Chains A and B, each alone.
Chain A
Amino acid sequence: MSTYTLPNEKGHFGIFGGRYVPETLMKAVVELETAYKEAKDDPDFQSEFRRLLTEYAGRETPLYFAQNLTKYAGGANIYLKREDLNHTGAHKINNAIGQALLAVRMGKKKIVAETGAGQHGVATATVSALLNLDCIIFMGEEDIKRQALNVFRMELLGAKVVSVTSGSATLKDAVNEALRYWVANVDDTHYLLGSVMGPHPFPMIVRDFQSVIGQETRDQFKAAKGRLPDALVACIGGGSNSIGMFYPFIEEEAVRLYGIEAAGKGIDTPFHAASLTKGKPGVLHGALMYLLQDQDGQIQEAHSLSAGLDYPGVGPEHSYLKEIGRAEYHSITDQEALEAFQLLSKHEGIIPALESAHAVAFAVQLAAKMNADQNIVVCLSGRGDKDVDAVKARLERGLES
């Protein structure tokens, strides 16, 4: 009884999505679409993908009832989908495995990728090591500073990390450089895009690979409770962990979907990354989507304490889900995320990624407004090891001022 069939054959979700790329890339983008369609229907490809998710990434990940956090929030039950327990510490590995297998299938031996927090870069470097692919990662200079440990990890895994100094020197600029690199090396290189953004078919491919999150959640929750949860909460950078969680529930109208953007220093300041809340539709990196931009269509810099949410756009499918009202989008400030980071650490013994802490912060607020017989599942997209230095520095600064 499937009625939600987007994207259409042109890669559009309503007005959003599409393939707004230089002509040089069209061949590669069409090739990828063809290869993916074949792989999707190929049982051998699917079983190899499953095998690596299980044996290498460590799936399935647990669905954990956060009893202490539930008690603290004082309302609905809060469950955590533990993507932080994946190999390499975040959901990013799901997509990296899938796309790297596709690259091998297409006969491409080189991988280029962008990274913000470094989590996608680490996941990409990891699967490149596993599958013996050359790997080059573009990363903003600012992010290299914020995530030094992940840079070392990528190098240890055999990847070459290239510092990007143009523009705001963060994720958006790393995507620009990765695209430029791809334009020049398209014959033998696959661009392993890290989120549900970019030209079609990327938003569809990444969603499909990440939808294992929502599929498992559905099965696990049903097994435990005999029904579906009332609400799902996930943070939004480009939108991959959230769409992976939401997608298997899109046609379940009773399940409310909450995507949480980074409000940085506040959505009424210029320092946030709340593209859906404060942006307008526009075209960047190959897709029509909600973007932070000025009135002349110049893209603005996004700001968030968490490098993984520091992106001025949000994937076309989320843009569409917002437009049709199927999902709700809210935002959480740096300060609220920092508090949730500590809260989850103290109450549950789980140190979340700063990105995921945004979802936790919102879930606590939401739970308080819901009843004790209702259930929320939070996508805990990653673990916080990569962030402890930054949080420590921030808290020490906070204490001084």
Chain B
Amino acid sequence: MNRIEQTFQLLTKTGRKAFVPYLMAGDGGLDCLADRLTLLEKFGASAIEVGVPFSDPVADGSAIQMAGIRALKNGTTLRGIIKKIAEARKQIHVPIILMTYLNPVYAYGIDAFIFDIQEAGIDGCIIPDLPMEEEDIIAPKLHEVNIEFIRLATPTTPLDRIKQIAGKGRGFLYTVTVKGITGERSEFAHDLYAFLKQVKEVSSIPVLAGFGISNQEQIAEIVEYCDGVVVGSKIVDLFASSRLRELEQLVSIFHSKSNPF
């Protein structure tokens, strides 16, 4: 069984919600990637999304854009990231999911990429510019080697299509909470919860909400309607400004005694 499936089975059994932080690989230098992964696991991350920097990240807001630029300036490459993850894998036990735009993978070579991430112990891939219509370029090959291709559903996705997407998926369904790009939001659309509820109803796999989520109050409300959250821009900023106590508070939200989750 894939590590992602195992993780969610365990979460379901224990009645816990998933907290999945996103970090930009190479922000702060690739050498600190292993330490950051270890830290996130220690703080209680259910799984970790590792972002691959790209020159033209059209789905991202300024926090992740800037982190990507810093990582690229450091000379970060997809090849380097996979190598670091391979080295760190022994000491990290939670699922690692690579979040990358398609072109770095295309340039790497799809087959070589899949071979290398399998060797490195990577459990899943999210490719934000690869909708269902084009996924055959990589999804079947990932499936063959038991790496999850994580699909996205958004507030503009018609219900029929959400059913179709959820029906294909293993792992979890990444449900985008906003019509828009990544980045912190002070508030969400009034119909977000109705939307999440709808997605939850039609999805046979766990539903995680992401995009714009940045604080405990938001998380507390959102997880009423889904199985967990992905937090990106906020985590990226906390790492970049070395606010590790705040990071711990956020990532450990489903573990601390004072929290009723």
Q: A-facing mask of B38-74, CB < 8 A → 1, else 0? A: 0000000000000000111111010001000000100
Are A176's CB and B102's CB within 8 A?
Answer: no
- Chain B residues within 8 Å of A298, by CB: 54-55, 72, 103-104
Are B104's CB and A296's CB within 8 A?
Answer: yes
The minimal Cβ–Cβ distance linking A116 to chain B, given in whole angstroms, is: 15
**How many angstroms between the C-alpha atoms of A356 and B254 in the bound complex?**
61
Q: A-facing mask of B122-146, CB < 8 A → 1, else 0? A: 0000001111111000000000000
Q: A-facing mask of B197-209, CB < 8 A → 1, else 0? A: 0000000000000
**How many angstroms between the C-alpha atoms of A288 and B102 in the bound complex?**
10
Chain B: which residue is nearest A18 at the CB level? B134
Of the listed residues A24, A288, A298, the one surrounded by the most CB atoms of chain B closer than 10 A to its CB is A24
Chain B: which residue is nearest A28 at the CB level? B156
Partner of B103, one of A28, A176, A186, A284: A284
Are B58's CB and A297's CB within 8 A?
Answer: no
- Chain A residues within 8 Å of B165, by CB: 23
Given the interface contacts A20-B129, A284-B56, A296-B79, does A187 sit within 8 Å of B134 by beta carbon? no
- Chain A residues within 8 Å of B132, by CB: 26
Stretch of A87-95, A177-185, A393-401 lying at the B interface: A177-185
The minimal Cβ–Cβ distance linking A112 to chain B, given in whole angstroms, is: 13
Does A10 belong to the interface (CB within 8 Å)?
yes
Partner of A297, one of B103, B134, B158, B178: B103
**How many angstroms between the C-alpha atoms of A26 and B151 in the bound complex?**
13
Stretch of B14-22, B105-113, B222-230 lying at the A interface: B105-113
Are B156's CB and A21's CB within 8 A?
Answer: no
Does A222 belong to the interface (CB within 8 Å)?
no
Given the interface contacts A10-B133, A23-B176, does A285 sit within 8 Å of B58 by beta carbon? yes
- Chain A residues within 8 Å of B131, by CB: 19-23, 26
Are A183's CB and B181's CB within 8 A?
Answer: yes
Does A58 belong to the interface (CB within 8 Å)?
no
Within 8 A of A (CB), among B86-113: 101-108
The minimal Cβ–Cβ distance linking B211 to chain A, given in whole angstroms, is: 9
- Chain B residues within 8 Å of A281, by CB: 106
**How many angstroms between the C-alpha atoms of A46 and B152 in the bound complex?**
37
Given the interface contacts A19-B134, A20-B130, does A167 sit within 8 Å of B106 by beta carbon? no
**How many angstroms between the C-alpha atoms of A176 and B161 in the bound complex?**
26
The minimal Cβ–Cβ distance linking A281 to chain B, given in whole angstroms, is: 8
Within 8 A of B (CB), among A285-322: 285-286, 288, 291, 293, 295-299
- Chain B residues within 8 Å of A299, by CB: 55-56, 103
The minimal Cβ–Cβ distance linking A194 to chain B, given in whole angstroms, is: 16
Of the listed residues A180, A285, A297, the one surrounded by the most CB atoms of chain B closer than 10 A to its CB is A297
Are A183's CB and B134's CB within 8 A?
Answer: no
Given the interface contacts A282-B107, A283-B102, A285-B58, does A23 sit within 8 Å of B154 by beta carbon? yes
- Chain A residues within 8 Å of B154, by CB: 22-24
Are A27's CB and B157's CB within 8 A?
Answer: yes
The minimal Cβ–Cβ distance linking A295 to chain B, given in whole angstroms, is: 7
Partner of A293, one of B107, B176, B180: B107
The minimal Cβ–Cβ distance linking B68 to chain A, given in whole angstroms, is: 10
**How many angstroms between the C-alpha atoms of A190 and B95 in the bound complex?**
39
Given the interface contacts A22-B128, A180-B58, A286-B129, does A297 sit within 8 Å of B179 by beta carbon? no
**How many angstroms between the C-alpha atoms of A26 and B102 in the bound complex?**
16
Chain A: which residue is nearest B75 at the CB level? A296
Are B133's CB and A166's CB within 8 A?
Answer: no
- Chain B residues within 8 Å of A272, by CB: none
Does A383 belong to the interface (CB within 8 Å)?
no
Does B77 belong to the interface (CB within 8 Å)?
yes
Are A167's CB and B129's CB within 8 A?
Answer: no
**How many angstroms between the C-alpha atoms of A296 and B75 in the bound complex?**
10
Are A186's CB and B157's CB within 8 A?
Answer: no
Does A81 belong to the interface (CB within 8 Å)?
no
A residues with a Cβ closer than 8 A to B are 10, 18-28, 166-167, 172-173, 176, 179-180, 183-187, 280-286, 288, 291, 293, 295-299
Closest 9 A/B residue pairs (Cβ): A297-B107, A184-B180, A297-B104, A297-B103, A24-B154, A298-B55, A296-B77, A299-B55, A23-B152
B residues with a Cβ closer than 8 A to A are 54-59, 61, 65, 72, 77-79, 101-108, 128-134, 151-158, 161, 165, 176, 178-181
A–B pairs, 5, beta carbons within 8 Å: A21-B129, A22-B128, A22-B154, A23-B151, A184-B180
9 more A-B residue pairs beyond the given contacts A23-B157, A24-B176, with a C-beta to C-beta distance below 8 A:
A18-B134, A20-B129, A23-B154, A25-B156, A180-B58, A183-B179, A281-B106, A296-B77, A296-B78
